[in-house]
Amino acid sequence: MNIFDSSGSDKQENTSPPPPPLTPVINDVLSPSGEVNYNALPSLASLLSIPSSNASSMASPITPRKTRRKRKLPTRAMPIVRAKTTKKALIVSYKWKKAQFKHKADIQSNDFVFDLPNTDSPLDFFYRFMSPDILIDIVDNSNLYSTHRTGKCMQLTIEQLKDFLAILLIMGIVKMPSYLDYWSTEFRYAQVADIMPLKRFEQIRRNIHFVDNTYPDEDRYYKIRPFIEKIRRNCLSTEEEMKYSIDEMTIPYKGTKAGNRRQYNPMKPNKWGFKNLVRAGASGIVYDFLLYGGDDTFRYIDFSEEEQQMTLGAKMVLALCKTIETPGCAVYFDNYFTTLDLIWYLRERRGIFSLGTIRQNRLKGCTNGLLSDKELKKRGRGSFSQVVDNDKKIAIVKWYDNKVVTLACSYADSYPVHEIKRWSKEQKKKVGVPCPQLVRYYNQHMGVVDLCDMLIALYRISFKSRRWYMNIFGQMLDIAVNNAWLLYKRKCNKKSLKNISLKKFRQRLAVELTQKGRSVQIEAPSQLSKKVLIQNPSKPRPPDSVRYDGYSHWPEYTTYGR
């Protein structure tokens, strides 16, 4: 009897034979290993013991007009899972205990014996970083680029390029809303307008170039790479110091032509721009830098197998420390770069001491030995906790001031503890607060890259151009000028001479770029009488409301006198 027959009552008895038990079916389908044999699966009709005619009658009311395609069952027993390739981490085991650090080191301040220029000319110090070969390359590439672009060479010379750089330096000191204002009739600035005509300045500004366009463009910064590498080479030739700071420096750029070379950092004053990783000395001199380019950042840097296993921030520090030639120096960095493996590796493999703040998720088991944040806050301001691993020569200190901060170091620990002054809201005065020694070292030397940023921001050379690499050119020029001034300052301190300010140094440098080594052209007496009939007015013309008010042309009556 058909079980779907609607003519019968609901209480009709089912006379069809009962279905066979499912136990033998399950034994046939499942193998001893637990895998499913799809070929041994019986059909639904056989499991329900339904005849083929009834099965077809069951399917006929619900199947659509178009026949469905039979789904092919997979022939494999289990799906294939692809193994993910993960980078092996550098395995270094640490054993922490509460004790004093046994591997302290005293970093001596070095006496500079580098051959500084004998003259006091700012241009000679500037040539230490912006060497004449760089100027020659810029002239050649600019003339070649103008020929490719317009079909005519603009005939740029070394003297005209120096004039162009001098104008940029003066524009950094005396700022106007637009560079056209320096040549305008209303706001004409003679120290800029008398150096070069506006059309020639615009021509050089439009066609200045740093590389031949046939250069392979695999590098993300190929438009500016030869120029910045030569600046970097000259920075590395400066006599090294013993204490360095590594941090990020943002090159301001808000345009969209740079693509994803432009980075966003909400914690910086200039939130949009190029990320430049800088190693600067305690005096503020930039010794090495590395432009961040994503996966292409370490194109020209060779890492060992151990260094390849480091994190991205640690590899940035290692790349900048590879150019350090003086052993026994110290490097400071913040929690973006700091890992325990990096601190251990720098001392064991490179002979470089390091100190930096570290994040809680990178402490590798030492959190059990350190006091918790709540316990430090209960003990009050200035409380600290310390654990060390004397085998790996690392000390970790957690200190509570305004908030809890954790530092890791390879050459110092908390002792001796110093006292610093902090404002107390309860007592309404400054009170003494205990401060560990490595916190004091960190506060003294970590803000060097911020000092470089401040010096550049004072008289920044800004470029509003569609070509994204012009902002990098302006930043490199500022770094060269600031390094030259700091080197000049180093010489003045060594020989007990009077130093000059950065603004005065840039002004003198601009004058020497336009005048030093050039013959002064004096017009002949016969040429003095020949004047051009049409000249630009020497003074701006007054508005019409002033010209025609009926009072401007009347004589002024004053008392008699000279």
Min mean pLDDT across 131-140, 359-368, 537-546 is at 537-546
Closest CA to 158 of 192, 128, 134, 191: 134
C-alpha 542 chain-centroid distance: 50
**What does the block give as tokens for 218?**
């695999």
498-523 residue pLDDT tens: 889 999 999 999 999 998 877 655 45
What pLDDT does 257 receive? 85
Min mean pLDDT across 54-63, 299-308, 475-484 is at 54-63
Q: What is the percent of the chain where pLDDT is above 90?
A: 52
- Interval 70-95 mean pLDDT: 54
Question: Is the model's pLDDT at 547 over the cut of 90?
Answer: no
Min mean pLDDT across 236-240, 399-403, 488-492, 548-552 is at 548-552
CA distances to 71, 258, 334 from 266, rounded to whole Å, are 54, 19, 17
Tell me if 236 sits within 8 A of 320, measured CB to CB: no
Tell me if 286 sits within 8 A of 479, measured CB to CB: yes
311-369 residue pLDDT tens: 999 999 999 999 998 888 999 999 999 999 999 999 999 999 999 999 999 998 887 88
Tell me if 397 sits within 8 A of 386, measured CB to CB: yes
What pLDDT does 280 receive? 95
CA distances to 238, 286, 478, 510, 543 from 123, rounded to whole Å, are 16, 18, 14, 9, 44
Dihedral in degrees, nearest 10, Cα atoms 489, 490, 496, 500: 0
Q: How far apart are CA 300 and CA 456, in angstroms?
A: 27
What pLDDT does 53 receive? 45
Residue 53 has phi, psi (to 5 degrees) of: -65, -45
**For the chain, what percentages of helix, strand and coil (3-state, to nearest 5) are there?**
35, 15, 50
CA angle, 159 then 163 then 166, to 5°: 135
What pLDDT does 47 receive? 47
CA distances to 429, 455, 516, 561 from 182, rounded to whole Å, are 52, 24, 23, 38
Q: How far apart are CA 236 and CA 289, in angstroms?
A: 10
Q: How far apart are CA 449 and CA 464, in angstroms?
A: 25
Letter for the amino acid at 150?
T
Query: How many CA atoms lie less than 13 Å away from 255 in the CB half-sphere?
Result: 13
- Map residue 48 onto helix, strand or coil: helix
Closest CA to 371 of 363, 381, 359, 383: 383
Q: What is the percent of the chain where pLDDT is above 70?
A: 78
The band of 44, judged by pLDDT with boundaries at 50, 70 and 90, is very low
Min mean pLDDT across 390-399, 413-422, 537-546 is at 537-546
Q: How far apart are CA 404 and CA 361, in angstroms?
A: 15
432-468 residue pLDDT tens: 999 999 999 999 999 899 999 999 999 999 888 889 9
Question: Is the model's pLDDT at 183 over the cut of 90?
Answer: yes
Letter for the amino acid at 270?
N
245-301 residue pLDDT tens: 999 999 999 888 888 888 888 888 888 999 999 999 999 999 999 999 888 889 888
> Residue 377: enclosing H or E segment and its boundaries?
helix 373-379
Helix spans in 237-293 (H): none
Question: Is the model's pLDDT at 394 over the cut of 80?
Answer: yes
What pLDDT does 365 receive? 83
What pLDDT does 548 receive? 75
CA distances to 101, 362, 383, 398 from 98, rounded to whole Å, are 9, 19, 15, 12
Q: How far apart are CA 245 and CA 282, in angstroms?
A: 7
- Three-state SS for 503-548 is HHHHHHHHHHHHHCCCCCCCCCHHHHCCCCCCCCCCCCCCCHHHHC
- Interval 377-393 mean pLDDT: 92
Closest CA to 285 of 33, 40, 479, 99: 479
Min mean pLDDT across 89-98, 195-204, 383-392, 517-526 is at 517-526
* Start-to-end C-alpha separation, the chain: 138
Min mean pLDDT across 41-50, 165-174, 387-396 is at 41-50
The band of 170, judged by pLDDT with boundaries at 50, 70 and 90, is very high
- Interval 536-553 mean pLDDT: 68
Choose between 558 and 164: higher pLDDT: 164
Q: How far apart are CA 17 and CA 25, in angstroms?
A: 18
CA distances to 94, 329, 382, 406 from 396, rounded to whole Å, are 12, 20, 16, 7
**Partner residues linked to 349 by β-bridges:** none
Tell me if 173 sits within 8 A of 189, measured CB to CB: no
Q: Which residue has the tokens 């930039």?
A: 286
**Partner residues linked to 245 by β-bridges:** 280, 332
- Map residue 243 onto helix, strand or coil: strand
The beta strand positions in 282-381, using DSSP E, are 286-291, 330-333, 353-357
What pLDDT does 32 receive? 54
Question: Is the model's pLDDT at 194 over the cut of 50?
Answer: yes
What pLDDT does 1 receive? 46
Q: How far apart are CA 371 and CA 397, in angstroms?
A: 10
What pLDDT does 398 receive? 94
What pLDDT does 383 receive? 93
CA distances to 131, 163, 231, 485, 541 from 480, rounded to whole Å, are 10, 17, 8, 9, 41
What pLDDT does 110 receive? 74
What pLDDT does 7 receive? 44
What pLDDT does 45 receive? 44
Tell me if 384 sits within 8 A of 399, measured CB to CB: yes
Helix spans in 80-222 (H): 122-126, 132-150, 158-173, 190-193, 198-207
Letter for the amino acid at 100?
Q
- Interval 203-217 mean pLDDT: 87
